[in-house]
Structure 1
Amino acid sequence: MLNKQKFNFFRNWGFALQGLKEVFTNESSFKIEVYIVLALLAGIIAAPLPILHKGILSTSMLIPLAAELANSAIERTVDLVTMRYDEKAKRAKDAGSALVFMSFIITGLIWFWTFFSLFFD
């Protein structure tokens, strides 16, 4: 990384899309989460909800996907450093998994409070 190229917006978008494609292709958990998000998104669009609530629910579903991408990056980096069992490597991977778990809790709370505000406002 010594010869870092200048910033190029479109090239960077290309790298981001390559990363999404790579993780979608090689990580079954990410692929499953994408399919769940698409199914929920179809339900949100079809549901008779105010546009603000649709936006909140739709946007919140990106949180677990972003966490899964970060977890995949952590796992790949750890695997790059060492392929043998190491307690520190395990802790790093466990922290990445905890990130994904927490993202589901946060998203669940967002959904709960969004629907709570609809029915008890």
Structure 2
Amino acid sequence: MAEQSYFDKSSNTGIRHLINATRFSMHGLKSAFMHESAFRQELALLVCLIPVGLIISSSLKEFVLLMAVSVFVLVVELLNSAIEAVVDRISVEHHPKSGLAKDYGSAATMMALLIAGSVWATGIVGYFT
């Protein structure tokens, strides 16, 4: 029997698809934690901010918003890391377009951090006023 191609998805349906997707996602999270220092730093910050969010939130909606923008930063960081991995896989030699792709990913992460920071600042100011 021939080995199934990575791109042959005919037997990857239903619950099997869900199991495989979960396994691949967990592998991605583990890999990001092991190899991406920015991901670890942002995850550590999120863990530290959970109790702060519980204290300063005046409602469940506010707490969920604070956590959502924090997780959003991790999502953008994962996408940035994926872009960097693909660019590095294609070629390690410097190319202006490769640099731009990495810069765009970095800019997206910075913007996510600015959005999260502004939401958190609003929550903190609201708590003290």
Same fold, TM exceeding 0.5? yes
> TM-score if structure 2 supplies the norm length?
0.82
Structure 1: runs of 5 or more not aligned:
none
Q: 1:48 to 1:83 in 2, by over 3 A?
A: closer
RMSD: 1.8
The structural deviation recorded for 1:48 is 5.1
Deviations 1:33-60 (A, max 9, x none): 1101100112223x15322211111121
Q: In structure 2, how many angstroms separate the alpha carbons of the residues matched to 1:81 and 1:60?
A: 32
Distance of 1:37 and 1:112 partners within structure 2: 15
Structure 1 position 66 matched with structure 2 position 71? no
Count of residues in correspondence between the two structures: 119
Q: Which residue of 2 aligns with 1:36?
A: 45
Percent of aligned pairs sharing the same letter: 29
Aligned with 2:113 (options 94, 104, 108): 104
Tell me the SS of whatever aligns to 1:9: helix
The amino acid across from 1:97 in the alignment is S
Q: Does 1:24 align with 2:33?
A: yes
Q: 2:63 aligns with which of 33, 54, 71?
A: 54
Contact 2:56–2:127 (Cα < 8 Å) also in 1: no
* TM, length-normalised to structure 1: 0.87
Match of 2:9 in 1: 4
Mapped to 1, the partners of 2:36 and 2:88 lie a distance apart of: 14
